């Protein structure tokens, strides 16, 4: 994982959100090197000049919403319905 880049985002989240709310920012070497409207746009532009694994794409949102996701699985539901 790109710990240094992620730590930079967390440490500067308030300032970054004030500047780039709801944008997808690209962080490399503890600097914002790109700002985009979508994750795919950030990815496609970044891989033109940087190697995968050398940059972090981060959705710029307040709180832990920016880096927490919940995934739901139908496996449990289907299993319960089958009984």
Q: What is the pTM of this model?
A: 0.79
pLDDT at 69: 58
pLDDT digits (tens, 9 = 90+) for 24-66: 999 999 999 999 999 999 999 999 999 999 999 999 999 987 7
Position with higher pLDDT, 51 vs 70? 51
For residue 6, count CB atoms less than 10 angstroms from its CB and return exposed for 0-12, middle for 13-18, buried for 19 or more. Answer: middle
pLDDT at 74: 56
pLDDT at 72: 54
Strands (E), 1-83: 24-28, 31-36, 56-59
Question: Per-domain residue ranges for the chain?
Answer: 3-81
């Amino acid at each position: 994982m790109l710990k240094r880049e992620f730590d930079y985002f967390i440490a500067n989240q308030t300032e970054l959100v004030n500047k780039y709310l709801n944008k997808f920012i690209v962080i490399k070497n503890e600097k914002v090197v790109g700002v985009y409207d979508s994750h795919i746009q950030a990815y496609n532009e970044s891989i033109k000049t940087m190697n995968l694994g050398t940059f972090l794409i981060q959705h710029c949102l307040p709180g832990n919403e920016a880096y927490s996701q919940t995934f739901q699985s139908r496996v449990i539901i289907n299993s319960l319905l089958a009984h």
